Structure 1
Amino acid sequence: MNVNVINQVIILSLMMVVGVFARKKDIITKETEESLSDFLLKITLPAMLLTSFNYNYSEKMVENAETIFIYSAILQAGLILFSIVLTLKNKNEVKKVLRFIIIFSNSGFMGYPVLAGIFGKVGIFYGAIFNIPYNIFMFSIGIMIYTGKSDLRTIKKVVLNPAIITTVIGFLMFLFSVKMPYTLYMAASTVGSMTTPLSMIIVGTMLAEVKFKDVFSGFMVYYGCFLRLILAPVFTVIILKILHVENLIIQICAIIEAMPAAVVASIFAQKYRADAQLAARIVFMSTIISMFTIPLVTVILKYII
């Protein structure tokens, strides 16, 4: 598995380089980047998620899905408390950014491609289940971290998000052994297969806009990366081992939590007047450093689980 993970991270990194090059050369403009993000979130990602549920009913998979759903919620709640302890001494605007980054990883844009590379289609299946509580927490508690209050309109948008809707539809199809017609499945599967390269290219275009001379300075950037890339997955493994969760579920949850900071961290920081520059720099640096830490986390998981 180790070689497979390293190869997968290298492949994803090369895809990001394509995005950086395309953005630097204005082949992909800012407007194009936003359109591609919409296309990914509303078309290719839902297609990939829907086809990932095209399995025959399995009682064991249903049991694992229920377990991942429950432990995803437990982990988010635990990381919320963990983030309070780790940021007690930080200034308020910095604290907001660090807390959000500790709790929420880039489980969508980078999580699904990495899970697919390590576990195959079943990794996407379980990742989709994990991300249901994750998204609900991110657009409720996540916003409260920045503003001190929840935004019910935003929570409603999350519930009606195409990825959430297709996950629910796909899981119901799996439960009742409803298979997609071959031609429809192949069309959706082919469109869904665009998600991985497209997501990494979009991440690359985002990274291309960060000024290199500013990004590498400041202790808080590296502290944020350490919290996100090392402490969050370590915390995940410890909690799940204490709860006697089976190894496959620990691996999936830990790898999701080993992803870099969620891109939306910088978007929320700018919108809600936190330290947006710090958030953007941590998103950038954690994405770069994760090329090395993700394989490291998978190697460690192999020996401790």
Structure 2
Amino acid sequence: MYGRFLVLFALMITGYILAKKKIFDSNTTHAINRFIVYFAYPCLLVEKISALKMETSTFINFIIVLILSTILFYLGYGIAYLYGRARKFPRENANVAEFAMASPNDGFMGFPIALLFFGDMGLLFMLAHNSALNLYFFTLGISMMKRNKDEKKKISFGSIFKAGAHLIMNPNIVALIAGLILCSAGVKLPVPFEDYLLYIGNVATPMAMIYIGTSLAKSNFMEIIKNKRIIECCLMKLIWLPLITYGIMIFLPVSNIIKITCILGSCFPTAATVPMLAEQEQQDSRLGSEILFLSTIFSVVTIPMTIQLIKLFIK
């Protein structure tokens, strides 16, 4: 198991070195990000999901994962909010800290790790988890980022419609729908087109890990490690919330793949969307980036531990 992680994190280190040596500049990393999100991952998802045998039980489990994940995200935010209040986080950036604690990187890290350790079915259900995360981002997440603003826009039908359209048009959601349609209809892709999607999709995992490495190169580790609040947020994100999720899921009368997906999905470091949305709403994006950075470093240890815990107690 750890050999596989060694490869993944070796790719992250490769990205870090390439960025430090100025071989990858900010324009290159931005282009890599867009290529992965808007093209490589959608190709991977269509190719993998269209090849699955979609039985009724699989579809029902997919919907259960979507619903349970949504509930767990909102519960996680509630815990993060109460923790921030108890620890008296400063009002000006408590919203970013709470958002960072409750938002896992189940896309860039979740997709390749779920595929690597739990196969195509693991990828399918992690996509359901990611769909719930996107719903959380564009509902409660946006509201959270606007919390400190004096002038708050009223919720209207137009704003709800716009948020819904934005969610549905996410390339990964479009790829999911396309893959499910092809899978349900039993349509087999032409071999050249299937090979094309396979080749592009196979690039997604290494490039995603390299991209994460390039993003880490922008931060000063020694400076961040001295900030106790950032360490607290990372411990909540990587240890306490996954343990709470584990305690909830282990006793629920659902299939093992659902338990695995929800527990695994909770253990990833902070999502890159956190500092992006914080910057968009003129909040403390630096704090979000620093929590993302340190939680990603710590996840080198905590993710293998979580997978080992899953394999020990969920057969």
Q: When the two structures are superposed, what TM-score results if normalisation uses the length of structure 2? A: 0.90
Distance in 2 of aligned mates of 1:240 and 1:256: 12
Q: Is the 8 A contact 2:16 2:217 kept in 1?
A: yes
- Give the corresponding residue for 1:18: 14
Match status 1:212 vs 2:197: no
- Give the corresponding residue for 2:134: 135
Q: Is the 8 A contact 1:18 1:201 kept in 2?
A: yes
Q: Is the 8 A contact 2:221 2:294 kept in 1?
A: no
Q: Alignment partner of 2:282: what SS? A: coil
Is 86-95 or 285-294 further displaced after alignment? 86-95
Q: Is the 8 A contact 2:129 2:261 kept in 1?
A: no
Q: Alignment partner of 2:108: what SS? A: helix
Shift of 1:213: 3.4
Shift of 1:190: 1.0
Distance in 2 of aligned mates of 1:36 and 1:241: 38
Shift of 1:200: 0.7
Shift of 1:240: 2.2
Distance in 1 of aligned mates of 2:276 and 2:38: 19
- Give the corresponding residue for 2:43: 47
Shift of 1:70: 1.6
What is the aligned-residue identity percentage? 26
- Give the corresponding residue for 1:119: 118
Shift of 1:105: 0.5
Shift of 1:185: 1.0
Counterparts in 2 of 1:282-293, with a 5 A limit?
Answer: 282-293=291-302
Distance in 2 of aligned mates of 1:277 and 1:265: 10
Distance in 1 of aligned mates of 2:40 and 2:219: 26
Distance in 2 of aligned mates of 1:93 and 1:254: 31
Number of aligned residues = 301
Distance in 1 of aligned mates of 2:4 and 2:61: 25
Q: Alignment partner of 1:245: what SS? A: coil
Q: Alignment partner of 1:109: what SS? A: coil
Distance in 2 of aligned mates of 1:288 and 1:237: 22
Is 169-178 or 30-39 further displaced after alignment? 169-178
Match status 1:176 vs 2:185: yes
- Give the corresponding residue for 1:201: 210
- Give the corresponding residue for 2:72: 75
Q: Is the 8 A contact 1:57 1:176 kept in 2?
A: no
Q: Is the 8 A contact 2:15 2:210 kept in 1?
A: yes
Q: Is the 8 A contact 2:114 2:122 kept in 1?
A: yes
Is 218-227 or 173-182 further displaced after alignment? 173-182
Distance in 2 of aligned mates of 1:254 and 1:99: 19
Q: When the two structures are superposed, what TM-score results if normalisation uses the length of structure 1? A: 0.93
Is 138-147 or 261-270 further displaced after alignment? 261-270
Aligned-residue Cα RMSD (Å) equals 1.7
Q: Is the 8 A contact 1:269 1:279 kept in 2?
A: yes
Distance in 2 of aligned mates of 1:138 and 1:176: 31
Question: Where does structure 2 lack aligned partners over 5 or more consecutive residues?
Answer: none
